[in-house]
Amino acid sequence: MNYAVVLAPKFALQALRRSDAALANKPFAIVEGEGCNAHIAAASEHAVGIETGLAVTLAMARCPGLVIRPRDPDAEGEVTRMLLAAAFTLAPRVELTADGCCTVNLQGADDAQTEAQMHACVAELARGGVGARIGAGATPLLAAYAARRADSVLVVHDARAFLSPLPIHFAEPTPVQQEVLRGWGVKTLGELTALPKTEIGQRLGTDGVQLWERAAGESQRVLHLIEPVRTFAAEWTYEPPVESMEPLLFRMRRFAERVALELRGAGRVAEKLALTLLLEDESDHHREFRLPEPGANVDGWMRVLQAHLDTVKTDERVTGVRLVATPARPPERQDGLFDTALRDPVAFWENLARLAAIVGDDRVGTPVLLDTWRPDAVALEKPAEAVSAPEDDLVHPPRGLTLRRFRPPWPARVGLVDARPTSVESDELHDNVRVARGPFHLSGTWWKSGGAWAVEIWHVELGSGATYQLTRTETGWSVEGVLD
Amino acid sequence: MSSSPKTVADLRQLLAARFPQRSRAPVGAVPTEIRALDEALGGGLPSGRFTEIVSASPGTGGQTIIAQLLRATRRARQRIALIDGADGFAPEAVPVDHLRHLVWVRGRHVSDAFTAADILLRDGNYAVVVLDVRGLSERALLKTPTTTWHRLRHATESGAVAVLVLSTSAVVPAVPWRLVLRETVPLESRRIPRAAIADDLVIEIDRGHVEREERSA
């Protein structure tokens, strides 16, 4: 097989249904023309008794509850981008042949691998709300016939056997040609190609020769290739504006599916998502999400986005949404023999992203001490997927109780005798000092202009028996924590 | 017809026989390498169960238990998550190597802590999840609906994660194990190795469960 065609039948209807949750399982139809010329251009499978060309008034009388809609160019554009993204997962040479139809040049690709990829492609599109079929064959035309004939994926290996039973309308004869062929008793492509091509040419002219070639699936042409997308973003508007989460999430998922498919088609994953809610008063709410594990899994993205949206309250209604994915290369790694790996990496990274959406990106991760003696100098890093083997026990193990910090520290008034603390008073604490150890002095970056810091630390055992850590800086005393 | 059970133990046996799926025994334990705690719990924090440690007053060793648990899980090559409700954990108080397997969630509100717990208990990658609610509003904690705790307990029992709740008063309803730290550790202990201090912590069993027998069986 040299070519494949990705086809979304009933393209305009599918696009409408995909963009509007209210149309699911309802009879609806697309209308064309205006006023008394308005007629049905296409009808969903639930619209029983509605035929193409029927006057709108008649259609509504025939099918009570019929929803009438015009074509939606934005929704169709999204489905087209979905199809193109899916086509780019098969091969890099893709043509947008018509609405809901892409042709892919597969020359040089491995047949078995490509066929498996086609099945994956159809499944992927179905998950994204697009019912598609893929046909493959030696010529673009044969692939197009196969796509029209396929239930899911159809690869034509024997062109003659495949074409013979197909009805003559597959070759798109003109009404005049159709009349002549009917007179000859020719109903299938096989019956037409059984007639000599030159004889057809003598009787039907050059148009007849072209018809014969189309019936034989021989028609070759050069594909008009398009460039794959370089930006991975979606933006859509709500008319009327929305107030609740459901319509927001429904369309967000649809757009995320397309963006994820485009990323996968380009061999990329997302390392960061940026979400902007456009509000009715022309302000916006913007938030960026660093994905702990770069990926193109829509469920994972949606969990992160939904976890954040659950916490968002806006005074104004949402008029539009913008979603931008920052592409990155898929991560590659080689684990060590004694490393501790994850049981379920997908759940691990997704859950971290959800946690980050709730508490903030900078408040979840593995703590790393910064290269300074300054108290509480710590950063949070992305946890390691594989944790290295533990080091040997320390030669000098930690001694004494462990500090538990009060963040922020409690401002305090400290009574001193001979420069040693004797009492502590703060909003939370009021006690005499029984034993005091200190002072322990720390300072740093005194060599930088305006960056110098210095702190004096005391450990004091109070009358209650508990030991607290006091600090004195240039701003005064504070209770920094308890040794617990 | 069999005679009605006379003791609570009899009743538990009867229920276990009739509803075996309801009386799922703990699937193991995570040793804390703290002698006092492992002895009290019969081997370590039970997996698939909640254990609550109540620090009756500051300075009784709750934070040292976390530090030692980090050490024990690191040595056992397990992962641990710390949901730090009031953001009190001080990483500089722990050896750097004991932080590499830790996921630290720095909370701000009671609701953050419970939402984080709900996510992490279902994750499947952690051997231990520590839910430290010390420092959070006690009133808010006590107002937490029982259904929230039930939901967390259900998530725990359907997995193999050991959950340690650190609190300043009993907050977990129907918890299998509740231990209380009452005695403050004096400042003079500052020269004693932390492991030895942890081993000597005075731990009272406020609530212990019959599952201890089941586990040893």
pLDDT above 80: residue B7: no
Q: Which residues of chain A have pLDDT under 70?
A: 292, 332-341
Nearest one of B54, B53, B34 to B44, comparing CA atoms: B34
For chain A, the distance separating the N- and C-terminal CA atoms, rounded to the nearest angstrom, is 72
Helix axes A245-265, A73-88, angle to 10 degrees: 30
The reply to whether B185 touches chain A by the CB within 8 Å rule is yes
Q: Is the peptide bond before A140 cis (omega within 30 degrees of 0)?
A: no
The secondary structure element, H or E, covering residue A200 is helix A197-215
Query: What pLDDT is stored for residue A106 in this prediction?
Result: 92
Judged against a pLDDT cut of 90, whether residue B104 lies above it is answered with yes
Whether residues B58 and A484 touch (CB distance < 8 A) is answered with yes
pLDDT tens string B164-188: 999 999 999 989 999 999 899 988 8
Q: Classify A456 as helix, strand or coil.
A: strand
Residues in a beta bridge with A306? none
**Interface size, chain A vs chain B, as Cβ–Cβ contacts under 8 Å:** 187
Interface of B with A in 96-135 (CB under 8 A): 96-97, 99-108, 112, 115-116, 119-120, 122-125, 134-135
CA distance A104 to A102: 7
Residue B27 has pLDDT above 70, yes or no: no
Residue B2 pLDDT exceeds 80: no
Distances (CA, A) of A39 to A54, A68, A74, A109, A262: 5, 10, 22, 45, 36
From start to end of B37-182, where are the E strands?
45-46, 50-55, 80-84, 102-106, 128-132, 162-167, 177-181
Give the number of residues written for chain B.
217
| CB distance B27 to B139 below 8 Å | no
Q: What is the pTM of this model?
A: 0.61
Task: Quote the minimal CA–CA distance from A404 to chain B in Å.
Answer: 5
| Residue B33, pLDDT above cutoff 60 | yes
* Residue B87 per-residue DSSP state: -
Written as six digits, the tokens of A293 are 């594990």
Q: What confidence score (pLDDT) does residue A268 get?
A: 85
Q: What's the confidence (pLDDT) of residue A358?
A: 86
Residues of chain A numbered 322-361 and touching chain B (CB < 8 Å): 340, 342-344, 347-348, 351-352, 354-355, 358-359
Tell me the pLDDT band of B136, cut-offs 50, 70 and 90: very high
User: A2 with A128: CB under 8 angstroms?
Assistant: no
Residues of A whose CB is below 8 A from B90? 376, 402-405, 481
Instruction: Please give the pLDDT value at position A449.
Output: 82
**Residue written as tokens 């650190």?**
B166
Q: Do A365 and B103 touch (CB under 8 A)?
A: yes
3-state SS, residue A254: helix
Predicted confidence at residue B210, as pLDDT, reads 45
Q: What is the ipTM of this complex?
A: 0.86
Angstrom distance (rounded) from CA A267 to CA A265: 5
Please tell me the predicted confidence (pLDDT) of residue A349.
Answer: 83
Mean pLDDT of B199-213: 76
Write down the pLDDT at residue A441: 94
Question: Which B residues 82-101 touch A at CB under 8 Å?
Answer: 86-97, 99-101
Residue A287 class from Cβ within 10 Å (0-12 exposed, 13-18 middle, 19+ buried)?
middle
First and final C-alpha spacing in chain B: 29
Please tell me which of the candidates B87, B101, B116 has its beta carbon nearest to residue A407: B87
Chain B residues with beta carbon closer than 8 angstroms to that of A420: none
**Tens digits of per-residue pLDDT, A393-423?**
778 889 999 999 999 999 999 999 999 999 9
Q: What is the pLDDT of residue A336?
A: 58
Average pLDDT over residues B150-159: 87
Q: In a 3-state reduction of DSSP, which class is residue A389?
A: coil
Query: Is pLDDT above 90 for B132?
Result: yes
Chain A positions touching B87 (Cβ under 8 A) are 405, 407
Min distance A52 CA to chain B CA atoms (Å): 51
- B60 inside 8 A of chain A by CB: yes
User: Does residue B216 have a pLDDT over 60?
Assistant: no
Q: How confident is the model at residue B212 (pLDDT cuts 50, 70, 90)?
A: very low
Mean pLDDT of chain B: 87
Q: Give the pairing of strands A269-279 and A284-295.
A: antiparallel
Instruction: Tell me the pairing of strands B128-132 and B162-167.
Output: parallel
Residue pair A312/A277 in contact (Cβ under 8 Å)? The answer is yes
Whether B66 has its CB under 8 Å from any CB of chain A: the answer is yes
